[in-house]
Amino acid sequence: MEQPRFNELKVLYQTAFGLAIFTIIYNIAEGLISTYLGFEDESLALFGFGTDSFIEVISGLGIAHMVVRIRKNPDSSRDPFERTALKITGVAFYLLTAGLVVTSIFNIWTGHNPITTFWGVVISLISILVMWILVAWKRKVGNRLDSAPILADANCTMVCIYMSVILLISSGIYELFEIGYVDSIGTLGLAYFSFKEGRECFEKAHSDIHCSCD
């Protein structure tokens, strides 16, 4: 592959940073909307999905910082700011996992079901589309820069797509058939990925590995 010239490198790194900032802003908006609608509609899966979006904001700050770091020195290792952000993100994911599991079991035990999961369907479809575009764009930039950290971030963004698919399936099934416990079962699926993300955050915080999401 032909190596990018200086001006192209500048544009590519600006694009990578812009994608990181967009991801942060998008997750803030998604988190606010999802947690509000999840609370109003009593949909635990949608509320948990929104809470995960807020945690992704912390991760996104670390990614934005990483892009600035590798632009200055592509061969540099993860710095203290990134490691701290990873640890905070990891703790948040573990707390979210515990909360989702406990609340899901409680809802199943009491037979609680959401009022509607319509907005879970809508938000998950939008999220899948947006995240898929982000993954493709990040991979394009990462391949052009031959940057393992940026490619790893693209792979990790795929987890957001998986979680959106879980929300879509659970919300769609409940909205169509009103099958009990589907919302809670979907929430347990989100908890599984939340736990995996938390574990990976601590693995990355204590090493220089990029990502094992792929």
* 1-17 pLDDT, tens digit each: 555 676 888 999 999 99
pLDDT value, residue 28 = 98
Q: What is the mean pLDDT of residues 150-161?
A: 91
Residue 210 pLDDT greater than 70, yes or no:
no
Q: What is the mean pLDDT of residues 20-34?
A: 97
Helix, strand, or coil here: 140? Answer: helix
Provide the residue ranges of all domains of the chain, joining segments of one domain with +.
Answer: 6-205
Residue 208 pLDDT greater than 80, yes or no:
no
Q: Quote the CA–CA distance of 144 and 136 in Å, as a whole number.
A: 12
At residue 115 the predicted structure's pLDDT band, cuts being 50, 70 and 90, is very high
Q: What is the mean pLDDT of residues 51-55?
A: 97
At residue 77 the predicted structure's pLDDT band, cuts being 50, 70 and 90, is confident
Contacts of residue 131, defined as CB under 8 A and 6 or more positions apart, other chains included, come to: 157, 158, 160, 161, 164
pLDDT value, residue 1 = 53
Helix, strand, or coil here: 41? Answer: coil
Q: What is the mean pLDDT of residues 67-73?
A: 92
Q: Quote the CA–CA distance of 41 and 39 in Å, as a whole number.
A: 6
Task: Answer yes or no: are the C-beta atoms of 49 and 123 closer than 8 Å.
Answer: yes
Nearest to 157 by CA among 177, 127, 185, 115: 127
Residue 212 pLDDT greater than 50, yes or no:
no
**Amino acid type, 162:** Y
